[in-house]
Structure 1
Amino acid sequence: MAPATELQDFRIFVATWNVGGKTPNNCLNLEDFLQVEDSPDVYVLGFQEIVPLSAGNVLVIEDNEPAAKWLGLISQALNKPQHDSIFSSDLGPVSKISNNNILKESKSPSSTLHFFHKPSLKALSRNLRADSSLLKSCNCPVDLHSRESRRRQRKLSDLHSNLYSGSSHIGRYSCVDELLSTAEIPSSPPSPRQMSYCLISSKQMVGIFLSVWARKELVPHIGHLRVSTVGRGIMGCLRNKGCISISMSLHQTSFCFVCSHLASGEKEGDELKRNADVAEILKSTQFHKICKNPAANLAPERIVDHDRIIWLGDLNYRVALSYEETRVFLEDNDWDTLLEKDQLNMEREAGRVFSGFNEGQILFAPTYKYSHNSDSYAGETNKSKKKRRTPAWCDRILWRGDGIEQLLYIRGESRFSDHRPVCAVFSVEVEERNKNNRLRKGYSCAGRRLEFEDCIPKRHSLYEF
């Protein structure tokens, strides 16, 4: 008898960027940053400090406008055909992704795009997102005659019709303005050559913002979607620091994506605060129960219980050397010696934090702290020590679980903030229900009829990066 499941490879792009409290302008080009070769199946994009961490944003009301602008820029970049870029060649240099150079800002005039003055994050998310009730529901094997199973089967059929009849709105907006201000969804179908990604989930917690995107054809296979937040800021509970976690299943494999901003500071002992933040996040993150099948394991309630975990963010770990010592090694490009004094590496090796997690080899310069609109680290060009920080690899991406292979781990070169963005590409094994079992049973794990599932385009083998 054929095995119940089979493994398929999927590609996941992950990025983290502390944007220093700055709202994106019209000239920021994300296309070459996000459209890597052999476009990924899933995008996981985390930001920190999308708003200034002021008392008003932390204690009074959360400013959602920057998050809406980031969401619009991301959607435009993911769903814009590469041959029809809104950023023409006369707008200045735009880099292709490589080990040394990604995410350049174009030099176009501010009149190229005009953002809607007060974009609504809620309305924009609703327009870009796939059917949230379908994504949040349980798609484990259940009694096929139950009311819940019949309801999900009807919704899946409707989704299938929307995805492949040309009625979906994803990828049809000509510019960010239209995304942010439109009240109606355009009716014209997208070009067949256009990339089409749906927003699976997005969440803001003061300055932290996490969004997950997936190819349209994967949407029927995603379920158990849940979001959890943990505040670790002022007094150990306010939301200026902490994390957002998104849990979901893809086919028969559970995923957890954690975007965090940990305690800052480069004094001796500050790394212990960051260790405590990680421990509290792992302890306090709780996903609500959703699974209808108690025997299934696709809806874990804790981070570490997921099959595949990817943790990204401004982890804020520093280099345990003085500014002067660090500068000497940087001038010689002796990153290996500096990484031996990297606090995160030291704390992990001592077993005090991120037990069971992995990180790829770092082959790029420290990502923090840069002078404004400069490639120089803060403190290099002036004598003032007030804004000087010892250069460090604050921005990191780690993972945990079997069946994960990191294909790429690099940083970008945008001068947009005092941090450089960091991104990674993973090849991830995902369990799918065996086709022979589906033929024998006549239904898939989500309760869909066989003839419906045969219409879904199948994922081909992973290309070499």
Structure 2
Amino acid sequence: MRVVWLWFGLLKATGKRGEEREWKGKRDWGGDEGDDCPDNSCVQSMENDRCEFANELRVFVGTWNVAGRSPVGSLAVDVDEWLNLKDAADIYVLGFQEIVPLKATTVIGAEDPTEAKNWNLLIGKTLNDKYVCPLKPITNDNYQYARVSDPERRASVCSRTATPIGDQPDRGSRYKLMASKKMVGVFISVWMKRELLRRYSVSAVNVCSVACGIMGYLGNKGSVSVSMSIEGTSFCFIAAHLASGEKIGDEGRRNNQVSEIFRRTSFPRLPQDGGSPHPLTILGHDQIFWFGDLNYRLYLDDNLARQLIKKQDWRALQEFDQLERELQDGGVFQGWKEGNIKFAPTYKYSSSNCNRYSGGLPSRAGEKQRTPAWCDRILWYGKGMKQLSYFRSESKFSDHRPVSALFLTQIEVVESTNPRLIPTITPTTKLHRTRVKKRRPPTLCSWSAKDKKACAN
């Protein structure tokens, strides 16, 4: 009876405070009301004498074409602004394009991990500099989080394919590198709060690369992907760099590359996974993010495009966007979603004057004529995902502006994985964050097997 009493007490308490709860970054949801996280899968955790949501994660996804430039010390300010650490996320998923110049020696030659290492060092320092000393050098560009049985070592990181990454400090830093993969100039880096590794089971971290550039198989274009599971929810992150070109028919090449990435991306089961099943393909995952320099352009004359940009009429400009039409027509991205674009096209900025787009009239000697376009995009697919914001940053480091999006995602907590989480409950009214008085009957977190049985009867 005392369990039932507490149950109704919590429901009553939430009636007054339910309206006070708001999502941060609410200015741009970028989706339909049907995208809301379902109310019937709330899982809560009791810590420090209070009840809080435990199954919602804030995922930051960012993409940046850095035009073959190496990270420098002064770039730290731009990266900090891009990652928006004042409104920190639980997971950071960052995709880069052209971290090396796309020339014959880098496209055909052996992979050089130097630039990937440098970018990871800069990202890690930006995420953790306020909490610990800068990270020590990372010696490889291809590594993944490895799940281990000892709870005290669950947060260790190693490489399944190359040198172990044991030279990172295991304690003190706030974010941990979960996976990283480089293919020529395409690069992905995934970071996660350490406290989440103690709260949730993270498993089946795997990486894959698909080269579909020159002759269909060179790595100047293609994708690098990360697959991972958090409790009972699988995630897939695809960082892509698709074919360039604004001529009629070039969009078809991009669509073909998307199809190839879908077809050739696979995540084989490995002994480290402990026999637990996990998705083998992109669309087998529960929540999927596809982002990068997708290179889709505008079906519009250059002068008209620049006039609409000057007016900041983004809605009118989007009517001519190739990717927008692809999403509406149900082509290779059938069923995928993108948030409302309320920012200027991110490509191509002049190298001589980073405040204006390249080309236009009057023409300038040696400057490429390119119609401005939203080449850098972030798409998503799946349930239990809500986009909170979608924006571009103003770094002038390259001819592209970095783009990022913040998502609220809901994960399915496996009851038996972590004894600190209470069982999944399905009330008719969603439980909101509630303070619990010190003198009270036992909480839901102190359910005993006897209580559960009595309640069931």
Q: TM-score range by the shorter chain?
A: 0.7 to 0.9
User: What's 1:233 paired with?
Assistant: 213
User: What's 2:146 paired with?
Assistant: 133
Residue 345 (structure 2) pairs with residue 350 (structure 1): no
- Equivalent residue for 1:319, pick from 298, 302, 309: 298
User: What's 2:406 paired with?
Assistant: 425
User: What's 1:94 paired with?
Assistant: none
Q: Give the 3 Å change call, closer, same or farther, for CA 374–357 of structure 1 in structure 2.
A: same
Residue 181 (structure 2) pairs with residue 203 (structure 1): yes
Q: Give the 3 Å change call, closer, same or farther, for CA 384–228 of structure 1 in structure 2.
A: same
Amino acid at match of 1:14: V
User: What's 1:9 paired with?
Assistant: 56
Alpha-carbon distance between aligned partners in 2 of 1:38 and 1:263, rounded to the nearest angstrom: 34
- Equivalent residue for 1:362, pick from 341, 345, 365: 341
Alpha-carbon distance between aligned partners in 1 of 2:336 and 2:235, rounded to the nearest angstrom: 14
Amino acid at match of 2:251: E
SS of structure 1 residue aligned to 2:411: strand
User: What's 2:247 paired with?
Assistant: 267
Q: Give the 3 Å change call, closer, same or farther, for CA 9–377 of structure 1 in structure 2.
A: same
User: What's 1:156 paired with?
Assistant: 151
User: What's 2:448 paired with?
Assistant: none
Bigger Cα displacement from structure 2, 361-370 vs 61-70: 61-70
* 1:65/1:120 contact within 8 Å kept: no
Q: Which runs of 5+ in 1 are unaligned?
A: 87-114, 135-151, 163-167, 169-181, 435-443, 455-459
* 1:228/1:286 contact within 8 Å kept: yes
Deviations 1:409-464 (A, max 9, x none): 00010000000000000000001123xxxxxxxxx33xx7x48x89xxxxx989xx
Q: How far apart are residue 218 of structure 1 and its match?
A: 2.1
User: What's 1:336 paired with?
Assistant: 315
SS of structure 2 residue aligned to 1:431: coil
* 1:9/1:429 contact within 8 Å kept: yes
* 1:11/1:42 contact within 8 Å kept: yes
Deviations 1:19-78 (A, max 9, x none): 000111110122232243342110000000000011101111223222111111100010
Amino acid at match of 2:306: R
User: What's 1:112 paired with?
Assistant: none
Q: Write out aligned runs for 1:276-425 (5 A).
A: 276-290=256-270, 299-372=278-351, 374-380=354-360, 382-384=363-365, 387-425=368-406
- Equivalent residue for 1:68, pick from 92, 104, 117: 117
User: What's 2:12 paired with?
Assistant: none
Q: How far apart are residue 121 of structure 1 and its match?
A: 4.0
Amino acid at match of 1:80: D
Q: Give the 3 Å change call, closer, same or farther, for CA 287–382 of structure 1 in structure 2.
A: same
- Equivalent residue for 1:56, pick from 105, 108, 128: 105
Alpha-carbon distance between aligned partners in 2 of 1:406 and 1:185, rounded to the nearest angstrom: 32
SS of structure 2 residue aligned to 1:433: coil
Amino acid at match of 1:327: R
Q: Give the 3 Å change call, closer, same or farther, for CA 376–85 of structure 1 in structure 2.
A: farther
* 2:298/2:322 contact within 8 Å kept: yes
* 1:5/1:432 contact within 8 Å kept: no
Amino acid at match of 2:357: Y
Alpha-carbon distance between aligned partners in 2 of 1:350 and 1:275, rounded to the nearest angstrom: 13
User: What's 1:79 paired with?
Assistant: 128
The normalised TM-score by structure 2 is 0.72
Q: How far apart are residue 85 of structure 1 and its match?
A: 11
* 2:359/2:370 contact within 8 Å kept: yes
Deviations 1:336-361 (A, max 9, x none): 11110000011221222211110000
SS of structure 2 residue aligned to 1:280: helix
Aligned Cα RMSD in Å?
A: 3.3
* 2:138/2:167 contact within 8 Å kept: no
SS of structure 1 residue aligned to 2:82: helix
SS of structure 1 residue aligned to 2:92: strand
Q: Which runs of 5+ in 2 are unaligned?
A: 1-6, 8-39, 44-53, 158-164, 423-430, 434-457
Deviations 1:341-398 (A, max 9, x none): 0000112212222111100000000000001251100014743485110000000000
Alpha-carbon distance between aligned partners in 1 of 2:322 and 2:294, rounded to the nearest angstrom: 10
Residue 68 (structure 2) pairs with residue 21 (structure 1): yes
* 1:224/1:248 contact within 8 Å kept: yes
Deviations 1:219-254 (A, max 9, x none): 352101111111110001111100011100011100
Bigger Cα displacement from structure 2, 225-234 vs 59-68: 59-68
- Percent identity among equivalent residues? 43
Amino acid at match of 1:241: K
Q: Give the 3 Å change call, closer, same or farther, for CA 156–24 of structure 1 in structure 2.
A: same
The normalised TM-score by structure 1 is 0.71
Alpha-carbon distance between aligned partners in 1 of 2:354 and 2:238, rounded to the nearest angstrom: 30
Q: Give the 3 Å change call, closer, same or farther, for CA 336–85 of structure 1 in structure 2.
A: farther
Deviations 1:308-333 (A, max 9, x none): 00111000000011212211212222
Residue 85 (structure 2) pairs with residue 36 (structure 1): yes
* 1:198/1:213 contact within 8 Å kept: yes
Please identify the structure whose Cα radius of gyration is greater: 2
Q: Give the 3 Å change call, closer, same or farther, for CA 222–52 of structure 1 in structure 2.
A: same
